[in-house]
Structure 1
Amino acid sequence: MNHLKKILLATTVAAIGTGFAAPAFAEDVTLTIESWRNDDLPIWQEKLIPAFEAKNPGIKLNFAPSAPTEYDAALGAKLDAGSAGDIITCRPFDKSLALFQKGQLASLNDLPGIDKFSSVAKSAWITDDGKDTFCVPVAAVIHGFIYNKEAFDKLGISVPQTEDEFFAALEKIKADGTYIPLAMGTKDLWEAATMGYQNIGPNYWKGEEGRLALIAGKQKLTDPQWVEPFATLAKWAPYMGDGFEAQTYPDSQNLFTLGRAAIYPAGSWEIAGFNQQAQFKMGAFPPPVKKAGDECYISDHTDLAIGLNAKSAHPAEAKKFLEWVASPEFAEIYANALPGFFSLSSTPVKMQDPLAEEFVSWRQKCKPTIRSTYQILSRGTPNLENETWTESANVINGTDTPQQAAEKLQKGLDSWFRPAAK
């Protein structure tokens, strides 16, 4: 037996003989992160997890996503059984609110950094009375229009600022005949509402002002500011190409990325895919205002947040992680790894992707809002969100007038919704 082994053996025997245990070393705590974003696994493994663990020795992260279609049911079952991970990726609005109301998500009111988020950013993860925030806002998607720069240059078209300029551009593109002016269809319904009505509508109902007035019962969907965007949407039909009624969402994507259409009514989530598929230079512009000098509004829609399992065995370590999620470092890594999913932090993030930088720059000049149907107003039957899909398509297809569409939506809402205050 060599000298070192003799010393170690003697030390161990002495410790046992005197009743003292050998010194113990604290084990690393591993936090498991539940998520539906299985496409994000490489980003977590290669960028986010190494960045956090480098500054937080003793805490390990395990990103364990489920399939998106299975996430809600799987998470609910695990939370009920007490087997869910420490960290919960939060859907926006009612699904996460229900988890908080069941005591399965912890309140994060006192989390350092939670004050770095605006009321609009927190709107998807806050109680109706505004007293509890239960997830750290992470990402939003912004609506606007992506355009083919080569088409605009070829036809001598400037980026439209007003609706008159927008329709003049569509008319010029149509007259030339090389490109379909607008790549959008109505077959999938949601496309007409999400990239149509909810895209341009905030300029009419003044974003949060109108949305909150609708919830309070102070405005109705039959008021002019809610009917007018339907009227504008109806004017898109002549520019959407032959057979747009049978055109699906993937069809619209393909028409644009193959260079056959000049303008794509968009959500910023398209950026990464379009960058890979399109062989031409692209630009983006926000929804044109009704007339020069009008204040502009954008749909800056809350998409994803991260919260704390109220029954986590490691709440202190989990809160340390969530504090990092609320930091500018996390925001910069995440937003640049996923261009088009923008940080909800009030601290601006410099985007490396030029198209993403264009979208996010609108926050500096336009007021943000979320989609009008998502908070509170789609909890009943008929569901206002789904009904808005149908009526947006009907208006473009010409089967309903803007006024008829608005009346149907308001009648459906009135059948179950009672505003808290008139």
Structure 2
Amino acid sequence: MKSLLKTGLLASSLALTAAGALAGDVTLTMWHNHPEWKDRAQAILDKFEEANPGIKIELEEIAGTNYSARLNTALAAGEAPDLFGLPAGPEIDAAAAAGYLTDLTGALDYSGLTDAGRDAITNGDKNYAAPIMGAYTVGLYYHRNIFEEQGLTPPSTQSEFMEVCATLKERGITPLVVPAQDGIVPSFLYMMMASSVMGAEGYEQLRAGERKFTDPDLVAAAQFLQDIYPCMQDGALSTPYVEGKALAALGQGAMMPGGSADYAGYQEINPAVDLGVVPFPAVEGGTPATVTGMEYVYAINSQSEHPEEAKQFLQWMMGTEAAQMVVDTITLSTTKGVVPSENRVIKEMIEAALSNDVRVFYELPETGAVFSAAQQNVGALFLGEITPEEFAARLQEAVQPSGS
């Protein structure tokens, strides 16, 4: 009788579990900062739900310009979602120290990630996040049709860039679209220019205090940044990111700095867009460069009522099925061995990064504040209110060399 009773209870339990799974008994809320990716991201989440019928993901897309402020407010109020993205590096460390994140050390298998992917979410011997939405590389996009029509070749050096700029302006074509309102895209421009001079080895020297932004060759990078301002669209300093991206996608300029993840957004705006991508032209004497970093890495809210299901989601997202969808439809993958199936532009971006690719400044503690310093000062540099030497000095003040 006891055996039959236990069997009956077990069967009832399994039936309830199955019924709950079919009903989607667990819903995880997730905030993502790329509205232009919504359909592509949702397709990946749909595939997860198909493979895990007991878990639903409720995705909310928040524009990048509003994301950080809204998330900080929600975290402070105890109203943040189950899953949310943060920039890799110091912000993850700060959120963990504040008690906002679930400790994932030993809870997830990270062995399938690339070295860069693992490094981005490791703080000492602790893990608090997963790089589920891939990585990005930033280079120079150009409209292939415009360059072909004008008989031009994408530039690879500073002098070639300025010559192309002059030619396009003479022909009534805006050479470069840069949404510069918040200083973010111009700061990426400077990172690529500085990286063309330093390379990865020089960047390590900068972090160690053996190199400085005030070195003459790096001041030359700041000078190049100032010099290209006249190549940008009218009103660049008042152009927000979303508007600039639309201008770029619609061919209102011949070139635009952008990341691998931007291509999906360009296609959403203009499905017929015909782009190529190259490293950003080198400061004279340097090497054309790209910079690479993580898309926001995802953490689990320490107050989530469903941490195990959230871990299940993060683990699935690091697998090859999800990673293949990410690289084919959105951006580069951080899962080993996953490459684009047919995405020519993403393949070109990967090729562009082969010769001289440097990690983005803001992901590492020694240079974490440099990006913000560039944002705050690039407008004054463009307007001639400060010199390239003064710009470089302000960036150097933000460096915290290792061991200092």
Structure 1 alignment gaps of length 5 or more: 1-13
* Mean CA deviation greater in 212-221 or 231-240: 212-221
Q: Select the structure of larger CA radius of gyration.
A: 1
Pairing 1:141–2:136 present: yes
Q: Is the 8 A contact 1:149 1:280 kept in 2?
A: no
Partner of 2:360: 371
Give the Å deviation of 1:217: 2.8
Which of 328, 333, 351 is the aligned partner of 1:343?
Answer: 333
SS in 1 for 2:338: coil
Give the 5 Å matches for 1:176-255: 177-184=171-178, 186-194=180-188, 196-207=189-200, 209-240=201-232, 244=236, 246-249=238-241, 252-255=244-247
Distance 1:112-1:76 versus aligned 2 partners, 3 A rule? same
**In structure 2, C-alpha distance between the alignment counterparts of 1:151 and 1:213, rounded to whole Å:** 40
Superimposed CA distance per residue, residues 296-316 of structure 1 (whole angstroms, 9 cap, x where no aligned partner): 542112122223455766665
SS in 2 for 1:256: helix
SS in 1 for 2:103: coil
Partner of 1:407: 393
**In structure 1, C-alpha distance between the alignment counterparts of 2:370 and 2:31, rounded to whole Å:** 27
* Mean CA deviation greater in 64-73 or 390-399: 64-73
Amino acid at match of 1:288: P
Partner of 1:303: 295
Superimposed CA distance per residue, residues 64-115 of structure 1 (whole angstroms, 9 cap, x where no aligned partner): 5374352333245438xxx963x45444333322232345321335632345
Partner of 2:47: 51
Partner of 2:78: 78
Amino acid at match of 1:100: A
Give the Å deviation of 1:174: 2.7
Superimposed CA distance per residue, residues 341-366 of structure 1 (whole angstroms, 9 cap, x where no aligned partner): 32223323215443333223434x23
Superimposed CA distance per residue, residues 121-163 of structure 1 (whole angstroms, 9 cap, x where no aligned partner): 3454332xx3323211132232112212222112211222333
Give the Å deviation of 1:407: 1.5
Distance 1:346-1:206 versus aligned 2 partners, 3 A rule? farther
Amino acid at match of 1:281: D
Q: Is the 8 A contact 1:182 1:264 kept in 2?
A: yes
Q: Is the 8 A contact 2:112 2:319 kept in 1?
A: no
Partner of 1:360: 350
What's the Cα RMSD here? 3.6
Distance 1:265-1:41 versus aligned 2 partners, 3 A rule? closer
Distance 1:125-1:402 versus aligned 2 partners, 3 A rule? same
Distance 1:111-1:258 versus aligned 2 partners, 3 A rule? closer
Distance 1:243-1:330 versus aligned 2 partners, 3 A rule? closer
Pairing 1:126–2:122 present: yes
Partner of 2:103: 106
**In structure 1, C-alpha distance between the alignment counterparts of 2:388 and 2:152, rounded to whole Å:** 30
Partner of 2:403: 421
Distance 1:349-1:136 versus aligned 2 partners, 3 A rule? same
Q: Is the 8 A contact 2:130 2:297 kept in 1?
A: yes
Superimposed CA distance per residue, residues 355-404 of structure 1 (whole angstroms, 9 cap, x where no aligned partner): 333223434x235433214432577xxx5433212333333322222111
Partner of 2:13: 25
**In structure 1, C-alpha distance between the alignment counterparts of 2:303 and 2:250, rounded to whole Å:** 50
Structure 2 alignment gaps of length 5 or more: none
Give the Å deviation of 1:328: 1.8
Distance 1:367-1:31 versus aligned 2 partners, 3 A rule? farther
* Mean CA deviation greater in 304-313 or 220-229: 304-313
Give the Å deviation of 1:172: 2.4
Equivalences, count:
386
With the length of structure 1 as denominator, give the TM-score of the two structures.
0.76
* Mean CA deviation greater in 272-281 or 132-141: 272-281
Q: Is the 8 A contact 2:267 2:273 kept in 1?
A: no
Partner of 2:89: 93
Distance 1:21-1:420 versus aligned 2 partners, 3 A rule? same
With the length of structure 2 as denominator, give the TM-score of the two structures.
0.79
Amino acid at match of 1:327: G
**In structure 2, C-alpha distance between the alignment counterparts of 1:405 and 1:394, rounded to whole Å:** 9
Partner of 1:9: none
Identity of aligned residues (%): 20
Give the 5 Å matches for 1:156-175: 156-175=151-170
Superimposed CA distance per residue, residues 206-236 of structure 1 (whole angstroms, 9 cap, x where no aligned partner): 13x3444333333322123532211211221
Amino acid at match of 1:145: L
Q: Is the 8 A contact 2:183 2:376 kept in 1?
A: yes
Amino acid at match of 2:105: L
Superimposed CA distance per residue, residues 185-216 of structure 1 (whole angstroms, 9 cap, x where no aligned partner): 6444333223x212332222213x34443333
**In structure 2, C-alpha distance between the alignment counterparts of 1:160 and 1:21, rounded to whole Å:** 74
Pairing 1:386–2:372 present: yes
